[in-house]
Structure 1
């Protein structure tokens, strides 16, 4: 017998508040959620409730609406420490309630920009997201303000990182949601840079401690490096665009960890730099040579299949073969192996081949 939840239909559309809580529950990583765990999700789904005296009543009504729609099953145990009583736990159905989502989508008077939602294959939570956008387009459609992504996300959903997650879903794409439709953009993260000389090279360093050690050494020892930047891990994939704000930079060398992320980050930044006409992002050869020679291997890196290991290692050029073997062997080498003392002892070697 099929699960009866898959055949539930709605007598009317869910309220925007209930649909937003449904979206939060769809992202929950377990089949059950306690009342204590539910409160923060409700606060994100309905930020205005935090200051209302009816907050508990609002949650009770929202839970009832989701239960009626087949989105949740309430427990037999209730928290009766206040009025109204609330279920101590909710259980989420194992099967998506697609019929309910379709009925909900068809019941919404969509704006022309979102007309596709009426026939799209969506979850209840996604319909709730689109309902929020629909209301915003209706009420703010003539506004010309453009806000950075997280500011717009906070305005729309009461949670600044909601759009970060949604951009990677099927809700975004051609003829669906777009950043221009929401009058928003990804703000360019800053690239923290220090001037250390007059040379044409910008040296980008993945981690903060190694950045500090190299900054102090390059300040004390003149080299071809004119600027040193802290890549801040994966942030460099976006902050690479800040290179065009630096005067006198004609060459960019990168130094990071020898692991999957440590090689993916500069390769991704290099692709962006090529598209934007910036200087190529290349390996800091002398520093990587030191890392291979003196590096302390650590476990914790999942072994990569040979094709993926070769793809990531290719960016390292002359060190690609050694990096490929490392990536395939389930170990990594942190760049902190090239510490301040080693940099002092070998400065003439690594600085001559940046």
Structure 2
């Protein structure tokens, strides 16, 4: 697996700016997640981070510990990295770029030192590609693969500072958005969104929501694809006034919820909050069963879930997830929902 330029540059920047020479793994992962918001659900996420870390070590930017490793998931990662005492030649000076005429704004920003290392790496890749334009419009992931070697990289930048007006645009990159359809029930215009992880529960909740005159939207998050669904809605100009989420109570469910929460934050939406009442109903009526999958949750996800769900629901839910068991949201089915009102779904902790 080859190192990804934007991912590697973001980690290098975080290492350079961290106050101490020894940089904890959590800082490294956070820096990597800033440029790839699929981190919580990406199958090869840790392997990609390891490739970037190894690349920086080979370049003389960092040193890796010989024995201290984080083995909470595969592959193991170094528990920390150590910044080299003297900057390498690569970090002392940045290679000059002869900017394309269509990136005059980027050249000006570069002179002023406005771009972070990861932003500059992205712009450099675009700059190298622009002379190769062929006047053919393709889906954004095809263009992203051509420019960066990563089919999802451009999507991760699309809603950020580099795509502000008069900067990068889909027209400049000769590509078009290509988003999957979003399954949802639009029951009113209040701007309240209820994101539901699994399709069966989405159907049951949608039907009961219509009976209860819910005046918002019920949206199928499609499991690991929830971030893509949110970006689809954002790309069409839609924004919620209030956003709630309901998913499975297990390690995978919390990873997906965290991914949705991070995406909502990145898009500048109102904070994604749990549908506390629905999680409570799952604990009350649900059967705890073995998940059949790895119970491992990263330390960051555990801390996040404790704070996000919190209250009387947090501890029992996390105990289930960390034990390798699960309570699926299908336990909150048609018959359970029939005895509930909207206040039972959204009640705060």
So what's the TM-score if we normalise by structure 2? Answer: 0.49
Structure 1 or 2, whichever has the larger Rg, is 1
So what's the TM-score if we normalise by structure 1? Answer: 0.48
Higher relative contact order (Cα pairs below 8 Å, separated by 6+ residues): 2
